[in-house]
Structure 1
Amino acid sequence: MPMSRGAFDDVPLTTLFPRLLTADVKSLGHAARAVDAARVDGDAAEWEWALGHVVCPGPQPGTPVILGVDVIEQAGEGDQLEFLLQVVWTDQGKLAVDAAVNVACWCETDHATHDVDALNLVVGEETSLPQAFAAGAERLAGWLADPRDADYWRDRAALPPRRP
């Protein structure tokens, strides 16, 4: 499924989430600006969205991402950190907000990456999309303020350090 890309102001929020109220759109925009403000380089993040995922596509391989941002930070030669915030569909057809910090894998068996910290909030009766998105954005902004050292994150998750 092709993803569109651009600044958060370009995201067609009411098309992606037809039930959003005006206050909800403002809340999502406020949370996205907090993510932009937390970036080291000060640039606005490039957000991605998939109009083809407005309606839940049902169970499928992979997670159907509706809206997301992926901030990749180089953390030394051949190493990187990845910070994610996504609105996705669950297998049960509910919206969820996922946020995660990933590090490159240096295990004997190459797992590619590891989530070293993650947040998953399912949208429902007790948590609205704006509340879940704000919580995910706040967590992402906090992670972006932490050290940009991948070994710091690996140590927190008890993963092997980068091999020379």
Structure 2
Amino acid sequence: MAMNRGAFGDVPLTTLFPFLSPDEVEFLRHAARAVDAARVDGDGVEREWALQHAVFPGTQSWTPIILGLDVIEQAAGVDQLEFRLEVVWTDRGRLAADAAVNVACWCDTDHATHDVDALRLVVGEENSLTGAFQTGAERVIGWLTDPRDADYWRVRAGLPARQRC
């Protein structure tokens, strides 16, 4: 699935979410800038979007990501620590804001990665897209104040530690 990548200012928010008002678009941009400001440095951030997912693609065996902000804090060798904020489609055709801390797997059975802390807010009666995205952004900002070490997050989640050579 081809994803476009670039600065958040390049994200065509009005194409991805044509129902948003200009104020709501600016609200999303403000939340993304707040996540950017919480980073240690200017490196390690990916912003991606999929124009083909602007319309619900139907139930899939995978989660269709519309918009993603990934803050990669540690990607040394074979280890990984990633903080994600995404707008996705649920399998029922509703928008959701997902936020997660993701680490590389060191289990006996290779699961590739694990979300060790996660939040999903489905857009609907209780959550607007802007409110869900803002809450997700605040969660990511909070996580970024914790140790930026994948082993810390594995211990916190009760996962096996990385094998040191």
The TM-score, its normalising length taken from structure 2, stands at 0.93
CA distance in 2, matches of 1:96, 1:158: 27
1:137 is aligned to 2:137: yes
1:86-97 residue pairs with structure 2 within 5 A?
86-97=86-97
CA distance in 1, matches of 2:18, 2:121: 20
* Paired positions, count: 164
Consecutive unaligned residues in structure 1, runs of 5 or more: none
Do the aligned partners of residues 43 and 74 (structure 1) sit closer, same or farther apart at CA in structure 2, a change above 3 Å counting? closer
**What residue in structure 2 maps to residue 53 of structure 1?**
53
CA distance in 2, matches of 1:18, 1:77: 41
Determine what percentage of the aligned residue pairs are the same residue: 73
Say what the alpha-carbon RMSD is for the aligned residues: 1.5
CA distance in 1, matches of 2:64, 2:75: 28
Q: Deviations over 1:106-155 (max 9, x none)?
A: 11111111110000000001110000000011111111221111111011
**What residue in structure 1 maps to residue 126 of structure 2?**
126
Consecutive unaligned residues in structure 2, runs of 5 or more: none
Q: Secondary structure at the match of 1:31?
A: helix
Whether the 8 Å CA contact 1:73–1:81 is kept in 2: the answer is yes
Whether the 8 Å CA contact 2:82–2:102 is kept in 1: the answer is yes
1:56-67 residue pairs with structure 2 within 5 A?
56-67=56-67
CA distance in 2, matches of 1:134, 1:43: 22
**What residue in structure 2 maps to residue 16 of structure 1?**
16
CA distance in 1, matches of 2:149, 2:46: 22
1:95-114 residue pairs with structure 2 within 5 A?
95-114=95-114
1:152 is aligned to 2:152: yes
The TM-score, its normalising length taken from structure 1, stands at 0.94
